């Protein structure tokens, strides 16, 4: 069995303006000799090179592949643009995430499969909105406000509701929220807690939750067909994920990060239903 490897590629790699203008040109071969490299945006505890197990999403992928005597390495990058580049232009095995903005041609070059359902909440900064942001769940009620969307996120519904949209990665969206550049953002509960604890501990209580039903997003793995092993390994992944859903390993990973709660159990059951539909495609 191949060994697990996790690597974080820092911001220094993308400092050059000319580099970003033409797309990142630093290949994965410079960072790891591993054959089955998976890439993601550094977003602890969902996908993280700082976590010895790679974070919740990568741990699910690793468990699924382990059951089929396969595994992979994780490399995280600071921005979604780099992740999209590597999974569409290079030969990495796959990418993890929720916000992939791919062209129709690029969609034909990947095999997509869901791996988890993330619970999300809308957040605002209390000093900017002392009375809170009240709404019943209809975006039309937020007309005139500004929303911080993740890079690659489909924000067309917000724009249709005449909500101004600014884009960024998670950690920068929280900064925009605090400085008043955006009025509200949406973030998975787990990563929101981690970002606030790590970067805004002093005013942790100043971040408020907009009262509405919890949102959900689907985390996916995109297997890159430019990698000669991608199709074969994707089949092993599908078989392996089905196995860990049945033997309880999947739920154990979710509970490790979210705790053993009724909500986490409910999301596992929802994912099992989603997975059954996926297998019928």
Q: Are 207 and 196 in contact (CB under 8 A)?
A: yes
What is the C-alpha to C-alpha distance for residues 186 and 173, in angstroms, rounded to an integer?
A: 9
Taking the C-alpha atoms of 61, 63, 68 and 73 in order, what is their torsion angle to the nearest 10 degrees? 50
**Residue 205 CA: distances (Å) to CA of 57, 129, 156:** 28, 13, 31
Q: What is the CA radius of gyration of the chain?
A: 19
Helical ranges in 179-248 per DSSP H? 189-199, 230-247
Residue 234's CB: how many other CB atoms inside 10 A? 22
pLDDT, one tens digit for every residue, the chain (281 residues): 333 445 555 433 333 333 333 344 333 344 443 469 999 999 999 999 999 999 999 999 999 999 999 989 999 999 999 999 999 999 999 999 999 989 999 999 999 999 999 999 999 999 999 999 988 889 999 999 999 999 999 999 999 999 999 999 999 999 999 999 999 999 999 999 999 999 999 999 999 999 777 789 999 999 999 999 999 999 999 999 999 999 999 999 999 999 999 989 999 999 999 999 999 88
């Amino acid at each position: 069995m191949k060994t697990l490897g996790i690597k974080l590629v820092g911001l220094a790699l993308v400092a050059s303006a000319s580099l970003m203008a033409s797309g990142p040109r630093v290949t994965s071969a410079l960072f790891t000799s591993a054959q089955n490299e998976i890439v993601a945006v550094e977003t602890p505890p969902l996908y993280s090179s700082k976590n010895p197990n790679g974070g919740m999403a990568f741990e699910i992928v690793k468990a699924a592949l382990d059951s089929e005597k396969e595994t992979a390495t994780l490399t995280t990058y600071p921005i979604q643009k780099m992740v999209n580049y590597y999974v569409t232009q290079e030969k990495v095995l796959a990418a993890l995430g929720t916000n992939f903005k791919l062209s129709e041609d690029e969609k034909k070059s990947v095999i997509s499969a869901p791996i988890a359902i993330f619970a999300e909440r809308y957040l605002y900064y209390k000093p900017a909105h002392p009375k809170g942001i009240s709404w019943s769940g209809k975006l039309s009620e937020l007309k005139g406000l500004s929303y911080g969307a993740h890079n690659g996120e489909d924000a067309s519904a917000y724009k249709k509701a005449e909500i101004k949209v600014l884009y960024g990665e998670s950690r920068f969206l929280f900064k925009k929220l605090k400085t008043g550049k955006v009025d509200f953002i949406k973030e998975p509960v787990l990563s929101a807690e981690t970002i606030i604890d790590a970067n805004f501990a002093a005013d942790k209580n100043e971040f408020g939750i907009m009262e509405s039903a919890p949102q959900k997003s689907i985390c996916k793995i995109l297997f890159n067909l430019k990698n000669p092993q991608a199709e074969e390994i994707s089949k092993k992944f599908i078989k392996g994920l089905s196995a860990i859903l049945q033997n309880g390993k999947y739920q154990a990973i979710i509970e490790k990060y979210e705790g053993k709660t009724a909500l986490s159990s409910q999301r596992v059951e929802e994912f099992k239903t989603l997975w059954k539909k996926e297998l019928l495609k």
